[in-house]
Amino acid sequence: MNILLLGSGGREHALAWKMSQSHHCDTLLIAPGNAGTAAFGKNMPFGVNDFEAIKKCCIQEKIGMLVVGPEDPLVNGIYDFFQNDSLLQHITVVAPSKAAAQLEGSKAFSKKFMARQGIPTAAYAEFTEENYDEGKKYIAAHSLPVVLKADGLAAGKGVIIAQTTEEALQSFEEMILGKQFGEASRKVVVEAFLTGIEVSVFILTDGVDYQIIGHAKDYKRIGEGDTGLNTGGMGCVSPVPFMDAAFMQKVIDRIINPTVKGLAKENLNYHGFIFFGLMNTNGEPWVIEYNCRLGDPETEVVLPRLQTDLVSLFAAMDNGTLADTNINFDERSCATIMAVSGGYPGDYQKNKLIQGLESPINKDSIVFHAGTKIAENGVLTNGGRVLAITSYGATINEAVKKSKISMDQISFEGMYYRRDIGYEFQ
């Protein structure tokens, strides 16, 4: 089967790496891809939201499966676009419908869904310009810290954790009246702050059955010791030591099962991944957010541990046999460390030559490209997050050590990475 993969990050390099191992994968195309994905297939010169170009490519290249990496095309309705076109209907699309993608596309939608299905999540209220004054009163009376979330997609920047009422009111004004995130912050969700340790769980579902394909802990802050600004993710580890059988059973009973049952009950057509962003509060799981895709860099530790053929899993999802498939995991731990451009998550420069990519690295390490591109003189940086090095180890500690050794073989001007990924599990 010919497969088209949409996206250009480390997640997509990991997906390309994994899918290309399947004997069901003939030609792999990646749009737009990066310097790393080019080793597993052909990069295509169109973007993830260019549905007409995607359609043309699917017809010309006889694509049998579309795998969508990032959230934008999901929320923009790529699944419905394929279902409503007689030339594309036969293609297996790994994506939720536009209506179901609101679980990620609208925080207010996901909060209401969780309330209807009795899924544990922080108490909240939603506000727009129409009930702005009511919102100010709600915030003024709220305990601290208080969490403000732009309703729509805001490229990971739409969440503010305010430590003071003043700061919360100012952010509320900027979001709603100042239209800080445009249409995305027309509506704002104000919610209670949850304390604990975050963990992400990933499932693949056909809207009836599901399989858990892994979990991970992400390190979001730029600085060591979890300090400084939030980023897209600076590293991940899997498995997470506190995800024992008892905690996982609570996640299954209270969160995963009611979510999948809720999708069916509410006729939300779903054929894809669900990323449960969870908080472990004294051993009890709460949902912070849903995403309709895999995480980045979570994918860079989840897929290396998944031994099951991913393309077969997608086919099982499509033909209703997901419940009959076996999922196997590599027993070893995985850690990934992200190298970023100097200045990220603020302003940074691109087009820096990456050195050391050709030298042999530890057999237990894999270099996943994120923001990279191929040029005449070699591979250049092309984004804030540049590459992630994943390693296997008997323990998280050992995996992190191997990734750091491999990382030290690679360099580019301004390169930075956190040396303390997995610090609390040492």
Nearer to ligand AMP, 288 or 357 (CB): 288
Q: Which amino acid is at 190?
A: V
Residue closer to ligand AMP, measured from CB, 276 or 344: 276
Q: Minimum CB separation from ligand AMP for residue 175, in Å?
A: 14
Q: Of 102, 105, 146, which is closest to residue 124 (Cα–Cα)?
A: 146
Instruction: Decide: is 147 part of the binding site for ligand AMP (CB under 6 A).
Output: yes
* Contacts of 196 by beta carbon, 8 Å cutoff, 6+ apart: 279, 280, 281, 282, 286
Which value, in Å, is the radius of gyration of the alpha carbons in the chain?
21
Indicate the residue among 12 and 218 with the shorter CB distance to ligand GLY: 218
The site partner of 194 among ligand GLY, ligand AMP, none (C-beta below 5 to 8 Å per kind) is ligand AMP
When binding is defined by CB under 6 A, the residue of 41, 295, 383, 422 that contacts ligand GLY is 295
Query: Could you say which residues in the range 199-218 bind ligand GLY, by CB under 6 A?
Result: 218
Q: How far apart are CA 218 and CA 226, in angstroms?
A: 11
Q: Is 296 in the site for ligand AMP (CB under 6 A)?
A: no
345 binds, among ligand GLY, ligand AMP, none (CB under 5 to 8 A by kind): none
- The site string for ligand GLY over 218-237 (x = CB under 6 A, - otherwise) reads x-------------xx----
| Nearer to ligand GLY among residue 173 and residue 420 (C-beta) | 420
Stretch that binds ligand AMP, among 51-59, 66-74, 191-199, 250-258 (CB under 6 A): 191-199
- Kindly provide the b/e burial profile for residues 21-35, where b requires at least 16 CB atoms within 10 angstroms of the residue's own CB: ebeebeebbbbbbbb
Shortest gap between Cβ of 278 and ligand AMP (angstroms)? 10
Compare residues 210 and 273 and give the one whose CB is closer to ligand GLY: 273
Q: How far is CA 420 from CA 111, 197, 217, 410, 417, in A?
A: 34, 17, 13, 18, 9
Nearer to ligand GLY, 45 or 156 (CB): 156
Q: Which long-range contacts (CB under 8 A, 24 or more apart) does 77-85 make?
A: 77/101, 78/6, 78/51, 78/54, 79/269, 79/271, 79/272, 81/51, 81/55, 85/55
Identify which of residues 92 and 238 has a Cβ nearer to ligand GLY in the complex.
238
Residue among 397, 318, 401, 406 at smallest CA distance from 359: 406
Token pair of 105, please? 């596309």
Q: Contact with ligand AMP (CB under 6 A): which of 12, 191, 300, 309?
A: 191
Single out the residue of 53, 125, 159, 212 in contact with ligand AMP (rule: CB under 6 A). Answer: 159
| Interface positions, 264-293, toward ligand GLY (CB under 6 A) | 291
User: Does position 12 bind ligand GLY by CB under 6 A?
Assistant: no
Number of residues counted as binding ligand AMP (CB under 6 A): 11
Burial of 164 (0-12, 13-18, 19+ CB in 10 A): exposed
User: In the bound complex, what is the minimum distance in angstroms from residue 231's beta carbon to ligand GLY?
Assistant: 9
Q: Judging by DSSP bridges, how do beta strands 2-7 and 28-32 pair with one another?
A: parallel
On the 0-12 / 13-18 / 19+ scale of CB atoms within 10 A, 145 is: middle
276 phi, psi to nearest 5 deg = -95, 110
Q: Give me the count of residues in the chain.
A: 426
| Binding region for ligand GLY (CB under 6 A) | 218, 232-233, 291, 295-296, 298
| Binding region for ligand AMP (CB under 6 A) | 122, 147, 156, 159, 191, 193-194, 198, 277, 288-289
